[in-house]
């Protein structure tokens, strides 16, 4: 779920008297007074909120000596006191007075390399460490309000030690936000601070003689749609963004002649995604999405006349497509997987373990209880779980809303989430953050909750602690440390399944308008929305996104970015805008010895990763870490282009050569004697009801309160 911004707590401060002469809390020490904004040396001009002509005030370098080495956080508190002492109607005017005191940067410093991302206006920041080991900052903006923010931060942090800059907490800025007027404008405080802290980290590294670490691999998409790869891993991803036209023609011919639809997950192999994305222009029944939408798309394709559906994903996805088609009356439509071997999933495997069954049996002892299971699990797991404890499926985009609604709708409820341990921990972390928010802020996330209700549900939220996705396991401590050091001022995107450190970092970025935490579709939508904002501004820009999910997303991202660039091509004189997608790949990542996107994958035994032949580095292939986690999913990469073409060419399968490729249709029975397909679909139908109505169905509520017996009419 793309959760609303979480506000930092505002400390209570003692305000000075209103008749106190307005002045900069501490002196500005710019690099120079370039660009026409100079004041007489030793003086700065500050506007009084109640006057038109700001009186000149003496620069307080001598005051600094008298007061000693003042902590920047104390400076910020004094600034906050000053703003709180001014009537709210005049605070913006006070901010403009600070803007008037800030010297302008020269043209040489007002360049893209010094831009602060995530601000409503253009903001530039320059920072260095002087010979005395003190940070020197200068900033500027094309907005006077933003210049005022910059002036306040420069007055507080200029001259501080690098460590002191890093010690400043974003919460220290909360009292200063009262003058902002809007949440998006207030984020300027935070984003400029993050830029200052990035420069402080670089200063510490230089002082300690540490060479800057090499950048993560990335792809840069230009305004003309051209893609520039930076790093060998990125080169491997970019290899198939311009697909072979002959393969496109071959695939489209087969799909159209035999009425074959294709549903594929975002995490597909780049070669496959490149071909599918290009083929969709000629054959409409191709859809690339997250797992939730795949089955819905298959139903629409069947309604449009497709006689076969090929599923490019892991086995539980093809199972779900088969079951939903049957539920919708399309049991004659064939459903085919892309491998004769099992295409597994680490999360699905965790949910089918005896340990997970024990987790559910424990949950059944504490009625009323609801099991919220991630959709990335098998139909059989969902069926067996639903017979132990009433169950509803969820996705990474609706899990928070589902759980909050369940708590609101059923008094005294216990919620048991699984199997993704990282997502469970992140949900708990999110609710703990909500517990310190105001009732108004909580109501923005869910209208039926407040501070009291959130605190009461915390002990009744339980999650499984032994399951994770091998892809999102990659985003651990080393990756997070490098993001903090080199990419803290970039836009951060993170799937809800990432480990807690990456989740917290992305949530912090989200609070200042610089991040998103959610599903793959949430991530794609966030990137598109930020690009649209840049295109509407029509100013030269370089927008950088850290991709905190499986690298297979890049094909859909590039396609969406190119589409947006094309849609703005003739609307106005085009600014030079670039989009950079950063792959945060661990330095200990390893890759398969073959760089072919399709030739080796059919033979992989996906359930035994130790059998993969690997070489050091991230030059190609899976990008899997020897400590756990992969930048791209080896299970998903079993869906090769060669397999897709093989299935298409052999349909209709009159000789039964594709029997092992057919998606499973469950005829097995549950322990209570019901069909697995029937019982396994019910949690999915409960989720669909919630998505349509924003409430749990009466049937599910009855099951939670009275057990799984059918309600009487």
Catalytic residues, by residue number, are 119
Helices (H), 573-628: none
Strands 123-129 and 135-141 turn out to be antiparallel
Residues 6+ apart with CB under 8 A from 357: 384, 388
Query: Residues of 276-288 as b/e, b for ≥16 C-beta within 10 angstroms?
Result: bbbbbeebebbbb
CA–CA gap between residue 317 and residue 338 (Å, rounded): 12
String of DSSP letters for 307-367 = SEEEEES-HHHHHHHHHHHHHTT-TTSEEE-S-SS----HHHHHHTSHHHHHHHHHHTTSS
Distance of CA 586 to the CA centre of its chain: 18
Query: Residues of 225-241 as b/e, b for ≥16 C-beta within 10 angstroms?
Result: eebebbbebbebbbbbb
String of DSSP letters for 30-74 = -S---TT----TTEEE---TT-SSPPEEE--HHHHHHH-S--HHH
CB-neighbour burial class of residue 67 (10 A; exposed 0-12, middle 13-18, buried 19+):
exposed
CA–CA gap between residue 618 and residue 59 (Å, rounded): 54
Residue 645 phi, psi dihedral angles, 5° rounding: -65, -35
Helices (H), 493-539: 500-511, 520-537
Residues 6+ apart with CB under 8 A from 568: 535, 574
Query: Residues of 614-650 as b/e, b for ≥16 C-beta within 10 angstroms?
Result: beeebbbbbbbbeeebbbbbbbbbbbbbbbbbbbbee
Say if CB 269 and CB 295 are below 8 A apart. Answer: no
Query: Residues of 393-415 as b/e, b for ≥16 C-beta within 10 angstroms?
Result: bbbbbbbbbbbbbbbbebeebbb
Return the residue matching tokens 């690099």. 31
At 298 the three-state DSSP class reads: helix
Return the residue matching tokens 């054959």. 283
Angle at the Cα of 233 (from 228 to 234), degrees rounded to 5? 20
Residues 6+ apart with CB under 8 A from 487: 216, 544, 546, 582, 584
CB atoms within 10 A of CB 443: 14
- Beginning with the edge strand found earlier in the chain, give each strand of the sheet holding 614-616 in spatial order: 614-616, 589-592, 624-625
At 576 the three-state DSSP class reads: coil
CA–CA gap between residue 40 and residue 45 (Å, rounded): 9
Give the residue among 214, 189, 18, 229 at the shortest CA–CA distance from 98. 189
CA–CA gap between residue 57 and residue 79 (Å, rounded): 16
At 7 the three-state DSSP class reads: coil
CA dihedral 314, 317, 323, 327 (to 10 degrees): -160
**C-alpha dist (Å) from residue 79 to 68, 139, 180, 533:** 18, 18, 14, 32
């Amino acid at each position: 779920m793309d959760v609303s911004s979480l506000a930092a707590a505002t400390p209570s401060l003692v305000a000075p008297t209103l008749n106190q002469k307005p002045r900069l809390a501490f002196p500005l020490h710019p690099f120079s007074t370039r660009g026409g904004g100079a004041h007489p040396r030793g003086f700065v001009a500050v506007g009084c909120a109640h006057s038109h002509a700001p009186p000149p005030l003496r620069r307080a370098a001598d005051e600094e000596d008298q007061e000693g080495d003042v902590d920047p956080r104390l400076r910020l508190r004094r600034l906050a006191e000053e703003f709180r002492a001014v009537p709210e109607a005049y605070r913006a005017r006070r901010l403009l007075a600070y803007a008037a005191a800030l010297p302008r940067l020269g043209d040489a410093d007002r360049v893209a390399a010094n831009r602060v991302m995530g601000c409503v206006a253009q903001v530039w920041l320059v920072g260095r460490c002087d010979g005395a080991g003190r940070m020197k900052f200068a900033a500027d903006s094309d907005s006077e309000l933003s210049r005022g923010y910059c002036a306040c931060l420069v007055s507080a942090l200029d001259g501080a030690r690098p460590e002191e800059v890093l010690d400043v907490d974003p919460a220290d800025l909360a009292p200063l936000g009262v003058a902002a007027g809007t949440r998006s404008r207030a984020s300027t405080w935070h984003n400029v601070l993050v830029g200052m802290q990035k420069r402080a980290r670089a200063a510490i590294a230089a002082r300690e003689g540490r060479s800057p670490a090499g950048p993560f691999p990335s792809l840069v998409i230009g305004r003309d749609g051209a893609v520039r790869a930076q790093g060998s891993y990125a080169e491997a991803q970019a290899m198939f963004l311009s697909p072979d036209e002959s393969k496109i023609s071959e695939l489209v011919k087969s799909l159209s002649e035999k009425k074959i639809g294709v549903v594929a997950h975002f995490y597909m192999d780049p070669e496959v995604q490149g071909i599918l994305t290009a083929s969709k222009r000629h054959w409409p029944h191709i859809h690339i999405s997250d797992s939730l939408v795949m089955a819905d798309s298959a139903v629409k394709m069947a309604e449009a006349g497709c006689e076969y559906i090929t599923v490019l994903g892991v086995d539980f996805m093809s199972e779900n497509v088969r079951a939903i088609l049957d539920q919708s009356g399309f049991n004659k439509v064939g459903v085919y997987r892309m491998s004769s071997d099992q295409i597994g999933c680490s999360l699905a495997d965790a949910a089918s373990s005896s340990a997970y069954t024990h987790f559910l049996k424990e949950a059944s002892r504490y009625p009323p209880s609801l099991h919220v299971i991630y959709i990335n699990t098998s139909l059989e797991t969902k069926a067996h779980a639903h017979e132990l404890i009433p169950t509803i499926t969820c996705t990474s985009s609706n899990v928070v809303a589902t759980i909050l609604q369940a708590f609101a709708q059923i008094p005294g409820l216990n919620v048991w989430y699984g199997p993704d341990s990282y997502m469970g921990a992140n949900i708990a972390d999110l609710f703990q953050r909500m517990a310190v928010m105001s009732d108004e802020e909580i109501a923005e996330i869910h209208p039926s909750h407040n501070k009291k209700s959130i605190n009461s549900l915390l002990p009744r939220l339980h999650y499984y602690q032994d399951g994770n996705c091998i892809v999102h396991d990659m985003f651990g401590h080393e990756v997070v440390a490098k993001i903090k050091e080199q990419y803290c001022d970039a836009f951060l995107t993170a799937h809800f399944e990432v480990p807690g450190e990456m989740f917290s970092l992305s949530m912090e970025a989200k609070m200042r308008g610089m991040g998103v935490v959610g599903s793959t579709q949430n991530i794609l939508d966030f990137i598109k929305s930020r690009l649209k904002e840049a295109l509407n501004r029509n100013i030269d820009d370089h927008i950088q996104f850290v991709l905190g999910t499986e690298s297979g997303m890049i094909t859909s991202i590039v396609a969406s970015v190119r589409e947006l660039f094309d849609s703005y091509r003739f609307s106005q004189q085009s600014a030079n805008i670039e989009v950079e997608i950063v792959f945060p790949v661990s330095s200990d990542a390893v890759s398969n010895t073959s760089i072919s996107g399709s030739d080796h994958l059919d033979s992989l035994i996906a359930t035994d990763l130790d059998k993969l032949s690997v070489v050091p580095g991230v030059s190609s292939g899976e990008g899997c870490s020897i400590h756990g986690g992969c930048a791209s999913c080896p299970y998903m990469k079993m869906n090769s282009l060669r397999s897709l073409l093989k299935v298409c060419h052999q349909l209709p399968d009159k000789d039964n050569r594709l029997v092992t490729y057919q998606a499973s249709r469950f005829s097995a029975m549950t322990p209570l004697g019901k069909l697995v397909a029937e019982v396994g679909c019910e949690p999915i139908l409960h989720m669909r009801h919630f998505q349509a109505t924003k409430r749990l169905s009466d049937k599910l509520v009855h099951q939670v309160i009275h057990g799984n017996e059918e309600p009487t009419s």
